[in-house]
Structure 1
Amino acid sequence: MIPAILKWSRLGASISLVGLIVLCLGWEIFWAPLRSGGSLLFLKALPLLAPLFGVLRGKRYTYQWAGMLVLFYFTEGTVRAWSETGVTRMLAWTEILLSVLFFASAIAYAKYSGQRYQAALQNAA
């Protein structure tokens, strides 16, 4: 039986990571690119593809390092929310929200999927 915290943190991390990928691509290609017609800044979505399959498969180590990776997206969202206006500001706030959700979910999953927690869970049952 999988504890609820593992199930919900894995689901939250998966949804927010896929959401960040879609947001990065849509933002820089369609919704508010730096130049009309799109810009190469959409390539910022590429690093998010590295942890995608590990997160979807529930690999604990992937959650650990991907939690640090997503802090770059939080930083970008914060800077752009502070300096931009209009649609770009709304997209930046969405990036902040998704990166915080992923970070919190990844930390919770990494913590509660560890051997110490699993051993305590088995001893309690």
Structure 2
Amino acid sequence: MNNTKLLQNISIVSLIALIFLSVAWEGWLAPLKPGGSMLIFKVLPLLAPLFGILHGKRYTYQWSSLMILVYFTEGAVRAWSDHGISQILAMIEVAFTVTFFFATIYYARATGRAH
């Protein structure tokens, strides 16, 4: 498997994992309100780059690497301020976002015009 395919697969897995984590977190694992919260809709922007990431579209990798920083920020703040399972989920969110960020920027670099 070449580097670009590996980076694409890492991006795909981390993005899909982040989508599932967000739904589970706000749906039933540790929602802000019992029974689920409206924060479950934070997953919707994560669906926007999914098609482009799945199909290796370089431009999608470029802009989604910036968009993911919003989720990194949320995870970092909640890892610092929340307690219990929510804090653990926030740390996992940070791990997924960092993985996605680096995989996408290196994928965009590897598939650049000069390559």
TM-score range, shorter chain: over 0.9
Q: What does residue 48 of structure 1 align with?
A: 46
1:5·1:108 contact (CA, 8 Å) conserved in 2? no
1:60·1:110 contact (CA, 8 Å) conserved in 2? yes
Aligned partners of 2:10, 2:94: CA distance in 1, in Å?
Answer: 15
1:1-125 maps to which residues of 2 (within 5 A)? 4-117=2-115
Aligned partners of 1:52, 1:23: CA distance in 2, in Å?
Answer: 15
> What is the CA RMSD across the aligned residues, in angstroms?
0.8
Segments of 4+ moved more than 4 angstroms? none
Larger radius of gyration: 1
Aligned partners of 1:84, 1:101: CA distance in 2, in Å?
Answer: 22
Aligned residues: 115
Identity fraction in percent: 49
TM-score, normalization by structure 2? 0.98
Q: Aligned partner of 2:3: which letter?
A: I
TM-score, normalization by structure 1? 0.90
Q: What does residue 123 of structure 1 align with?
A: none
For structure 1, the 5+ residue unaligned runs are: 118-125
How big is each residue's C-alpha offset from its partner over 1:55-102, in whole Å with a ceiling of 9 and x where there is no partner? Answer: 000000000000000000000000000001110011000000000000
